[in-house]
Amino acid sequence: MRRLFPLPAPPVPSGDFPHTADTPQDGNSAAVASALAAEPGAIAGTATGTDAGALSGAPDSGTTGPVDSGTADAADSATADAADSATADAADSATAGAAESRTAAPADFRTAGGAESAPAGAADFADRRWSLDELADAYAYPRLDEGAGWLRANMVSSLDGAAHHEGRSQPLSGDADMRIFGVLRGLADAVVVGAETVRKEGYRPARAREAFAARRAAAGQAPAPVIAVVTASLDLDFAQPLFTEPLVPTVVVTGAGADEDRVRTARKAGAEVVFAGEGAAVDPSRVVGALAGRGLTRLLTEGGPRLLGQFAGSGALDELCLSLAPLVVAGDASRIMNAPVTTVPETFELASVLEEAGFLFTRYRRSWTKGGIIRSA
């Protein structure tokens, strides 16, 4: 895997610019110069629902979110882009070892610990294997003001914009894409998903991973992320392992006007019920705040497309990690977001791009300032 963006500034030859002759190169530029001399090919070039049922009670048209694997030994879920347990095993084992990175953070992007991310070295642009710690550092959540939350999405798309093939996103995924899925979950306080995606893909509780144990403990996180199900109807099977076998209680996000009997049933099953909205429907603009109010600030949404579309349309989405698969599927598959158009299109800025086996792993951040943190590099 190699990084394509952002590229550091190239070293300036002092012979062409005499005024720089006595100015030492910064370490990053020197490293890039060294890499170019040693490996001419090291730098290849520049990066050239709501689930209607979740928010309004209508069924979701499709799912692109991942599912947890069918067994406790499988990965937390198949992948943000995959559903079957066999594939999940590969994602989990790869992530638990030395994972390859999907991206590295811009140099001025503050991590959750408050430290600035280190500038990219020349090695980041060579095709190499990244350690799990490097990958986790690259995807660290930003430092937030007290009580603020950050909503990150992870989705996959074909070259022609399809979010799934024959109803499932797994055919669009790949090994590196599945590995990054495990890391994103390993960093999150909660995985936010629409109810129809839970029903269709058989979500199970996230499990603790030894590879992230020390990092999560240092950040004050639970051993595994919470699964937060967004649903207006609470039409869920509370006898499923998601509610009967979680390491940490599953959260159900619904409206304050939701059916009281269903709310009681959810609580009796051990779920924590969180209200986001005054009526029966869920207000997507209030989900992040409702979860952050319970200490769940590092949020990862895995869809489905309607849920993600509602988050984006309401201005709640802060970051999009989008995998672009080198595939064309045609057909009538949905996009990664299915929801009414926004009044004013949201602007996101490219933060980073990695490439492996023809897949592009991109990361975009909202380009405005909110809650005391800089959203634009």
Instruction: Give per-residue pLDDT as tens, 121-160.
Output: 666 777 777 777 888 888 889 998 888 999 999 998 989 9
- Give pLDDT < 50 ranges for the chain: 14-53, 57-119, 369-377
Q: Who contacts 301 (Cβ-Cβ below 8 Å, separation ≥6)?
A: 65, 151, 152, 153, 154, 191, 192, 193, 307, 308, 311, 317
Q: Which two tokens stand for residue 36?
A: 């170019």
Domains by residue range for the chain, with CATH: 145-366 (3.40.430.10)
DSSP 3-state of 363: strand
Please tell me what DSSP assigns to residue 241.
H
DSSP character string of 112-139: TTSPBPPPPPGGGGSS-PPPHHHHHHHT
Q: Who contacts 22 (Cβ-Cβ below 8 Å, separation ≥6)?
A: none
Secondary structure E strands in the chain? 2-5, 150-157, 190-194, 226-230, 251-254, 272-275, 298-301, 319-324, 348-356, 359-366
pLDDT of amino acid 121: 60
DSSP 3-state of 350: strand
pLDDT of amino acid 220: 95
Q: Which helix (H) or strand (E) holds 338?
A: none
Cβ atoms of 356 and 192 within 8 Å: the answer is no
Q: Which two tokens stand for residue 58?
A: 């209508």
Query: Buried b vs exposed e over 132-166: b needs ≥16 C-beta within 10 Å?
Result: bebbbbbbbbbbbeeebbbbbbbbbbbeeebbbbe
pLDDT of amino acid 269: 96
pLDDT of amino acid 365: 94
Q: Taking all residues of the chain, what is their mean pLDDT, rounded to a whole number?
A: 74
pLDDT of amino acid 61: 37
Closest to 293 in 3D by CA, of 189, 194, 193, 149: 149
pLDDT of amino acid 56: 52
pTM of the prediction? 0.71
